[in-house]
Copies of this chain bind each other. A is one copy, B any other.
Amino acid sequence: MSAAWSVEVINTGTELLFGSVVNTHLAYLGQQLFSLGLRVDRQTTVPDGLAIADAIREATSRSRLVIITGGLGPTSDDVTREVVAELTGRGLQFDESVFSKIEAHVLKRGFHLSAAIKRQAYILEGATILPNDFGTAPGLYLPSTAAFPDLLMLPGPPRELRPMFQAYTTPIIRKIVGHSDLRAMVFRTSGIGESAIQELVGADLDTIPAVEVGYCAHVGAVDLRLIGTGSAVEQGATIVRNKLESYIVSSDGKALEEIVVELLSKRNETLAVAESCTGGYLASTITDVSGSSAVFLEGNVTYSNEAKVRTLNVPQLLIQRLGAVSEEVAGAMAEGARTRSGATYALSTTGVAGPTGGTEEKPVGTVFIGFASAMGSTEVQKLFYPTDRLTFKQVVTQRALDLLRRRLSFSP
C-alpha cells in the first residue's frame, strides 16, 4: 500500500446521528477496502440534506478516494447527486435505461410508481453507473479530475450497498489502486480469551518485524489478525497454527456455523437442535449458511415445559424435580431431538437468559448445553454468562456450535 493513498468515507443519514440506526457501513467498507489494499483514514457522518456539501468539500480536498453512502433515494432529503453536481460543475441527465430498471423493480413488488422515484434515474454527467440489483437508486462512480479525486456514491441501505460493492465497485477500485503487496490473515478462534491468545503467541509474533498483530474480541469468539508483507504473514501464520491448534476455527474468514455445516456435509452426517434459552437463534444461525438444508433436519424451540415434554419426550418428573434449567433436562432435550429427527447429532440449550427468572441457585446467565450422538454417550456442559438477553443467546449459540465442531474435527 502506497503511503500517498488516502481514503475517506462519508456516511449521510440523520437516523445515524439520531441513534435510531447503527452505522454498519464503515465496518463493512473498512474490511472490503482492506482486502483491496486500502485503509480508511477518516470517516464522517453528516445528516441528510445540505450538510453533506461541507463534508464532501473537506474530504475531496485532502483524500484520493472519497466514498459517500446514502442520499441517493427518492425523498426530498436525498441530495447527494445534486450536491456533487454543483460541487463538480456537472449536469444531471435523465437516463431512460436506469429508469426502466427502476420501474421494473418497483412494479414487480406491486408498489406504486411515484413521481419521486423518478429522481433516482438522474445520472451525473461523466459518471459510471453502478447497477442496483436489490433496490432502485443506482450507485455512481465519478473518475478523478485535476480538481477532484475519485468519488464513489453508494446507496444507504446495506442490502443494496453490499452486493453493489462486491459486483461493481470492487473492479473499479482495483483499477484505481493497482497492485498492493499488503496481505492480511484473520484467524477466528473459539473457546479462548484475548489475553490468553496474546500470552500464547504474542512474544513469538513480536520477533517478526514486518507483521502487525491485532486482536479483536467478538461475542463468543476472538479474531487474531496478521497484517504485513506476504512472507511475513506466512511466517506468523505458522506460529499461530502451532500454538493455538484446536482453538482455531478458520483462517479464511469463515464463521463457526459455516465450518460446522462444512464438516457435517463432508461426513454425510445430519443435525437437529432443541432450544430453550436460545429461542431459535441456534437454528437460525445454522440456517444462515447456504447449503445447510442438506445437513440440518429440524429445530425444536421448546420454550414451554409442556413443549419439552410433548415434543422432546423429556420426562415430566425430571423438570419437576430438577427444573427445566438442569444438566439432566439438557441431556434429555438433546436425546429427544436426536431420536425424533433421526439425525446423527443433536445440540440442546436450556438456561436463564434474563433479565428475569434467575434464582440464587440458578442465577441469570446459567446455561446447560447438551450434545447427543448416534455413536456415543450424551454430554452436557454447564456454563455461566451473566449478560444481556441478546448477547446471551449469541454466546450460548457459539458455545454449542463449538462443542459440535470439536467433536466433528477431532473424532474419526
Contact with B along A174-208 (1 / 0, CB 8 A): 00000000001010000001111011001000000
CA distance A284 to B14 in the complex (A): 29
User: Within the oligomer, what is the number of copies of this chain?
Assistant: 2
Q: Is A91 an interface residue (CB 8 A)?
A: no
Known: A286-B279, A303-B298. A20 touches B186 (CB 8 A): yes
Instruction: Name the one of B19, B198, B387 contacting A31, with C-beta atoms under 8 angstroms.
Output: B19
A411 within 8 A of partner (CB):
no
Interface centre among A214, A280, A287, A293 (most CB of B within 10 A): A280
B307 and A303: CB pair below 8 A? Answer: no
Q: Which of A41-95 contact B (CB under 8 A)?
A: 41-48, 51, 55, 73-77
Set B33, B163, B225: member contacting A15, Cβ < 8 A: B225
- List chain B residues, Cβ under 8 A from A51: 41-42
Cβ-neighbour of A114 out of B24, B76, B196, B218 (below 8 A): B196
Q: Which of A15, A32, A33, A303 has the most CB of B within 10 A?
A: A303
Q: Closest CB of chain B to A73's CB: distance in Å?
A: 7
Q: Does A301 contact B299, Cβ atoms closer than 8 Å?
A: yes
A159 to B199, CA, bound (A): 24
Beta-carbon contact of A20 and B299 below 8 Å: no
Of B14, B163, B288, which is within 8 A of A225 by CB? B14
On chain B, the residues within 8 Å of A77 by CB distance are 214-215
CB-contacts of A383-406 with B (<8 A) = 384, 387-391, 393
A202, A214, A253, A291: which has the most chain B beta carbons within 10 Å?
A: A214
CB-contact partner of A44 in B42, B216, B275, B302, under 8 A: B42
* Cβ-closest chain B residue relative to A46: B42
Distance in angstroms between the alpha carbons of A215 and B218 in the assembled complex: 32
Which 3 A-B pairs have CB atoms at the shortest separation, nearest pair first?
A279-B287, A19-B30, A280-B283
- Enumerate chain A interface residues (CB-CB to B < 8 A): 13-24, 26-34, 39-48, 51, 55, 73-77, 108-109, 111-112, 114, 116-117, 134, 157, 159, 162-163, 184, 186, 193-196, 198-199, 202, 214-219, 223, 225, 253, 273, 275, 278-288, 290-293, 296-304, 306-307, 310-311, 340-342, 354-357, 384, 387-391, 393
